Structure formats: C-alpha cells, structure tokens
Structure 1
Amino acid sequence: MKRHLIRHRLALLIIGVPMLLAALYFTLMSRDRYVSTAVLSVRRAGHDAPSLGGLSMLLSGTAGASVEDTRYLREYLHSLGLMRKLDARLQLRAHFEAARSDVLMRLETGTSQEDMLDYWRQRVEVSLDEVSGLLTLRVQGFDPNFAQLVNQALLAESEAFINDISQRIANEQLAFAKTELSRAAEQLALGQQSMIEFQARHQMLDPLADAQATGARAIELRSRLTRLEADLNAKQAFLNDDAPDILTLKAELAAVRQQIGHETSSATSSKPNANGTLGKLAVEFHGLKTRVSLADGAYKSALVSVEATRIESSRKLKSLVVIEPPTLPEMAEFPRRLYDIATLLLACLMVYATVLLARATIQEHRD
C-alpha cells in the first residue's frame, strides 16, 4: 500500500504537475506567433554567371547565383546594426515586450542590446540552400501584419546591402583601372621622352634605318667591287698595265674600296670622342623603341579597361531576386500546442520510468 501511494505521488509530481503547468501556460498565457516567409537569391549579372547550358544549368542550380554574397547577406540579416536600425524604425522592442502574459516567449523589459540580439536571431530564421543559392527568410511576430512588415523591411535592407556591395566593387575596379591607366601613361611619356633625347643627342632620327641603309650600301659596293675586279682581270689578259682602260678600272676599284672602308668604319668604329658605333646606337635605339611600343600597348589596354569598367559600373553587377515576397500569415504557426504537450508528456513518462527503475534497483539492493 505504501509503495502504491509513493508511486502515485511520483506520477503526480513528475507527470501531473508539469502537464498541469503546461496546460495552464498554453491555454492562459501563451501568445500566438505568426510567421511571414520570403525566398530570395543574389544573382550576378552578365559574364559573372557560370557558363553552363541546358541540363547542366538546371542540375547545378547555381547558374548566376552568388552563394558567397548570399552568405554575406545571411550574416548581415542577423547583425546588431541592422537590428538597431529596424528597432528605431519599427519599434521591435516594444512589439516583443508587449506580450506580457507569455513569460517564456516575450522580450524582458530593459534587456541589453546583446540579449535582444539573441532574441532577435531566434525570431528571424535565415536558412541558406548551398546547392540552389536560395535564402529563406522566416520572421516571427505576435501579429501577422507586423511579421510581414518586418520581413518587407528586411528585404528592403537586403536590397540596399547588395547594391552597396555592388557599387563598392564597381568603384574599386574603376579606381584600380584608372590607376593602371595613369601608370601606363606615365611610362609611355617617359619612354617617348627618352627617345626624343636620344635622337637629339646623336642627331639621328632612326639609327636602325641608318644601319640598314649603311648595310645595303655596303652590299651594293661589294657587289660592284666584285664586278670591277672581274673586268680588271679580264682586260689585264690582253692589255698593258698602263693602258687607259686598266688605269680607269684601278681608279674605280680604289674609290670603291675607299667607300667600302668608310661605310664599314662608320658602322663599326668607336673613336674616343664618338658617341658610339652605329650598330651600338641602333641596338640602344631598338631597346628604347621596344619599351615605348610595350608602354603604348599597355596604355591602350589600360584605356580599354577603364572604358569597359566604366560601362560595367553603370549597371548593377549584382541584384537581389525575390522568389517569394513576404507572405501575410493567416494562421499562427507557433506555439504548436498539441505537439509541445505530447512531447512534454513523452519526456515526463521517460523520466517517470527512469525514476521507478532506479528506485526498484535501490530497493532490491537493500533487500
């Protein structure tokens, strides 16, 4: 009889009292909480989208989606700064403190901003599908209209956040392109100035052209020298050395050899007071010309980059796509009274069974 009475008391204490308190709470104290849902995604414009096609794009689910930016947006939606901004605009604290009867789900009066942030994160659920890049936003409120209003405000702030990121990226890219253009223009100007100074110092417009012309003249003179020597040998076979034709040929040969020597000397000689051989000057000028050509190519490339970046910055690089706008709930989603009571009952029964088993074990050891 005593054991039976103790068992009834345990059942009353472990099962009856919690169930009674839960019934009182859910019937008299708890407030309905409505959930407004929105589904959105961050998309990149133009060439930033993955170049997939057909079935691949459908299977991947991320065509044009920027999952990294969506992650940033998820963190922003739970940030302290955004909560304080919406609190000042929508009076979040006043709304969540108004449910005074619901001692478990209300926001305590006078809580710190850190505690309110924890409460806010419990009332705003942000879940990201890593495969599709879709962000689901669920906002709880004690009033359906307020829940939808907060969700709409979050979408507006999300749009501003994405636009700010996009604009900042565009401005940084444009600033970098302009810096590269200025650097390329400076390098081009320095190279052109070096060429001008070189031409003025050596009194040569283009040593490369001069060297090529000298080489062509030397080849022509050697060819002429060969013909004259052939003619001289042919005529010496039947004419005396003092014949007019022989003397004329010898004079021409001497003049051609002298001219060849002069051309060769101007191309290869390096006198103490000279600025350098023509070949050396040609090599130096070729280096200057190559640097100017490279600088000119870099300048043109930078100019094209600036124009392309300016055009790109004039449009939105990223945009917030709202798949499902914030809903206006008609039925309260929380609390789930039957589910919560059933769960509590199951937990109480498990605790009750555990206590009975422990008590029986202790009693057995005593006997």
Structure 2
Amino acid sequence: MFTKLKNKRNRSAIILFILVVILPWIAISAYTLVLAHPRYVSTSDVVIKQVSEQGISATGISSLLGVNNTNREDALYLTKYILSNDMIDKLDAEFKFREAYHVNGADFINEIPSDATQEELREYFKKRVSVSLDELSHVLTVTTEGFEPEYALKLNQAILRESEKFVNNISKDVANEQLVFVAAQAADAEQKLNDAKKAVIDYQNQNEIFDPQVNAQVVNQVIGTLQGQLSSLRTEERQLLSYLNPEAPQVVSLRSQIRSVEKQIKDEQAKLTSPRDAKLNAKTVEFETLKAEAEFASELYKIALTSLESSRVEVMRKMKNLVVITSPYRAEDALYPRVGYVLGTSLVLLLILYGFIVLVLAVIKDHAK
C-alpha cells in the first residue's frame, strides 16, 4: 500500500514536471530555434553640438564637442522626435514597415501584422528602434533592428538623416525668430534716416540755400566790414568839419557815402532778422532742427546695425548641429534571438516555477492533514 502511494506521488511529480517544465521549455526551444527570425542590429552614437558662448568653460569631451547643459534638453527633444508619428510616417514611406517586418507570420512575437494600424505600428516601431541617452556626456545611442542587416543599417542612416534635418530646422527657426525683430528695427531706423535726409535736401532745394548758418556768418562778416567802413567815414567827416563848412561839396559827398553805407548795413541786417519774410535766423533754426533730426536718425541707424550684427553673431554661436560620433554599421551576425540566453533563462525560470508549485502543493497537503 505504501509502495503504491509512493509510486502515485512520483507519477504526479513527473507529470507536473513535464507539464510545467519540459513541455513549455520544448515550446520555447521550438520557437527560438525554428520560428524566430534572426534580427540584425545597427547602432550609432550622436550628440547635438552647440558653439559655446565665450566665457563658458568646458572640460573633457564637452570642450571638444562644444556641449553644454542645454544639450540634455535638445537630446530629449530629439528622442521624442525619433519615436514620434512624424518620423514614423516619413520613414514608412521609404521603408514600408508593414512589409519589411512581416515575413511569413510564423514569428508571431517579432513580426508585425500586415494590416497593423498606425497605433500598432508606432508601438512596434518602438520595439525595433530604441534611443538611449547618456546623462553624463549627453550622447544619444540610436539602435535599429531588422530581419536583414542591410535594412537595419539603412534604417539607422535614415533616422540620422531626418534627425539632422530636424536639428537644423529648429536652429534656423529659432535664429529667424531672434533676427526678425532686430532686422525690422534696423529697417525702420534706415527708413527714418532716409526720411530725415530727404527733409534736409527738400528744405535746401525749396529755399535755394545750402546752409543758412553759413550764409548768416557771411552776412555778419559783411555787416562787420560795412560797420568798419562807416566808422572810417564818420571819422573822416569829423576831420572835414573841423575846417570846412557843412555845405562844402566834400562834406556833402562824404555824408552821401555815409548814408549809403548805413542803408547797406540795414539791408544786410534785414536779411538776418525781420518780422516779415522768413529770414536767415528763422531759416537757421529750421535747418539746424532738420539737421539734428538727421544726425539723430543716423546715430539710431548705427546702433540698429550694431545690434543686428551682434544678434547675428549670437545666433551663429547658438546654432546647433548633429554630430555623428559613431556611424551606423552593417551587422555580420544576428544579435537576436540569443538562443543560449533564452533557453538557459527560460529553463531556470521554469524550474523555479516548478519548485514553487511543488512547495505550494506540499503546504496545502500539510494543512489538509
């Protein structure tokens, strides 16, 4: 009776071992060795380079590549883009994922259905394309898988090509946004300068005068000369009157000259100041105002040009490029499936599961007694 019971327990244990360990392990081995398609891997390392601002110190690889703290954010943005629907759509048009990753349907785990939806394709794409970020160096590692080594290589190269376009476009967009406002200010300053210059030229043409201030200086010099002549004539008049009659011809002639010079002085003075027409003093004020406005506009234009040039230099410093540190390569051997690892790991896990089940059954039997 005891022998029969023992034999029955042994048969139960063997059956349980076959069901829990042997049959699952045979199924896993059959899938791994027969059904699973070989998957080839291509890997590349890239970093987003930015020209460092002066005064920022960097050491090690950062000093060589010009990376700084902003590169981590850039790397995260690029990671999002590589795994985005936009990237998938662009690459799917070229690589036909639903066809390339569907061989015959035998590898039901690693193949994608030929009628997969966009959402399913996106999830599958994330299994075949992975992007990892090194937090220390901010280097992105792009890994692609394919059932053919050439396919994995070309897919990796295409991802790098589209990533470079993405980085360049973002840099150009940011640069254009920064320059648009400064360039508009420079254009506005240039227009104001042209308007101010035109106002000066129009004023000169309308008044037929180059510079009222210069003309006023000339008139003052003429008045000064005439006043000197007038002073000499009056001195001569006093000398004549000392020994001649006021009605003497010489005195009369001299007084006529004096009146002529006095009239000429008044006429010249009238050119400078007069309540009637626009005289040189008023013209001088108007012209100096226009000229000051032109000079002020010129200074503003110089400042705007300097600001524009500084902005361009700053933008060039902040321009970013995708630098390929390690180019993708064509794999010679399939990396997946890792037969030894899969079979060994699965066997260990199944044995652990078997031992756990046996332990649970033993505990249940003890409680039943």
TM-score, with length taken from structure 2: 0.65
CA contact (8 A) 2:50 2:317 kept: no
**What is the aligned partner in structure 1 of residue 344 from structure 2?**
342
- RMSD, aligned α-carbons: 3.5
Please say if 1:88 is aligned against 2:90.
Answer: no
Q: Please tell me whether the aligned partners of residues 61 and 137 of structure 2 are also in contact (alpha carbons under 8 angstroms).
A: no
The answer to which of 177-186 and 300-309 deviates more is: 177-186
Superposed displacement of residue 111, structure 1: 1.0
Report the CA distance shift for 1:93/1:315 in structure 2 as closer, same or farther (over 3 A): farther
Task: Provide the rounded CA distance (Å) in 1 between the counterparts of 2:63 and 2:339.
Answer: 37
Please say if 1:108 is aligned against 2:110: no
State the match for 1:41 in structure 2. Answer: 47
1:241 is matched with which residue? none
Structure 1 unpaired stretches of 5+ = 193-204, 206-288
CA shift for structure 1 position 189: 9.8
Judge conservation of contact 1:170–1:312 (CA < 8 Å) in 2: no
Counterpart selection for 1:73 from 74, 78, 81 = 78
- Secondary structure (helix, strand or coil) at the match of 1:320 reads strand
The structural deviation recorded for 1:133 is 1.6
| Structure 1 residues 298 and 5: alpha-carbon distance in aligned structure 2, compared to 1, 3 A threshold | farther
User: Residues 191, 14 of structure 1: CA spacing in aligned structure 2 closer, same or farther, 3 A cutoff?
Assistant: farther
1:99/1:299 CA distance change after superposition, 3 Å: farther
1:14 aligned partner, one-letter code: V
The answer on whether the counterparts of 1:174 and 1:310 sit within 8 Å (CA) in structure 2 is yes
8 A contact 2:98–2:113 mirrored in 1: no
Aligned residue in 1 for 2:9:
3
2:350 partner SS: helix
Instruction: Give the C-alpha shift of residue 132 in structure 1.
Output: 0.7
Q: Are the structure 2 counterparts of residues 296 and 6 from structure 1 closer, same or farther at C-alpha, using a change threshold of 3 Å? A: farther
Please show how residues 184-199 of structure 1 align to structure 2 within 5 Å. none
Alignment correspondent of 1:355: 357
For 1:17 and 1:303, locate their aligned partners in 2 and report how far apart those are by CA, in whole Å.
80
TM-score (ref. length: structure 1):
0.66
Q: 1:163 touches 1:316 (CA, 8 Å); kept in 2?
A: no
Displacement of 1:360 in angstroms is: 0.6
- Alignment partners' CA distance in 2, 1:311 and 1:59: 24
Residue 177 of structure 2 corresponds to which residue in structure 1?
172
Structure 1 residues 340 and 68, CA gap change in structure 2 (3 angstroms): same
Report the alpha carbon displacement of residue 60 of structure 1 after superposing the two structures with TM: 5.7
Task: Give how far 1:78 is off.
Answer: 0.5
Deviations 1:193-250 (A, max 9, x none): xxxxxxxxxxxx9xxxxxxxxxxxxxxxxxxxxxxxxxxxxxxxxxxxxxxxxxxxxx
Residues in 1 aligned to 2:61 and 2:168: alpha-carbon distance in whole angstroms: 28
Encode CA deviations 1:10-59: one digit per residue, 9 max, x unaligned. 111110111010111112101100000111111013x447722xxx5117
Note if 1:20 corresponds to 2:26: yes
* Count of matched residue pairs: 276
* Letter in structure 1 aligned against 2:327: P
Task: Please give the residue correspondences for 1:100-179 in structure 2 after superposition, counting only pairs within 5 Å.
Answer: 100-179=105-184
Tell me the amino acid that sits aligned with residue 163 of structure 2.
S
- Alignment match, 1:32: 38
Separation (CA, whole Å) in 2 of partners of 1:164 and 1:106: 34
- Paired with 1:317 and 1:178, the residues of 2 have a C-alpha distance of 18
> Partner letter of residue 175 of structure 1?
V
SS at match of 2:30: helix
Whole-Å Cα distance in 1 between the matches of residues 55 and 39 of structure 2? Answer: 41
CA–CA separation in structure 2 for the residues paired with 1:292 and 1:357: 98
Among all aligned residue pairs of Structure 1 and Structure 2, give the percentage whose two residues are the same amino acid: 34
- Over residues 273-319 of structure 1, what are the superposed CA-to-partner deviations in whole Å (9 max), with x where a residue is unaligned? xxxxxxxxxxxxxxxx9x99998766533321223445666899211
Residues 234-277 of structure 1: per-residue CA shift (max 9 Å, x gap): xxxxxxxxxxxxxxxxxxxxxxxxxxxxxxxxxxxxxxxxxxxx
What corresponds to 1:318 in structure 2? 320
**Contact 2:53/2:317 (CA < 8 Å) preserved in 1?**
no
1:143–1:88 distance in 2 versus 1, CA, 3 Å: same
Alignment CA distance shift 1:50-1:105 (3 Å): farther
Question: What secondary structure does 2:101 align onto?
Answer: helix
Q: Judging changes above 3 Å, is the alpha-carbon distance between structure 1 residues 121 and 48 closer, same or farther for their aligned structure 2 residues?
A: farther
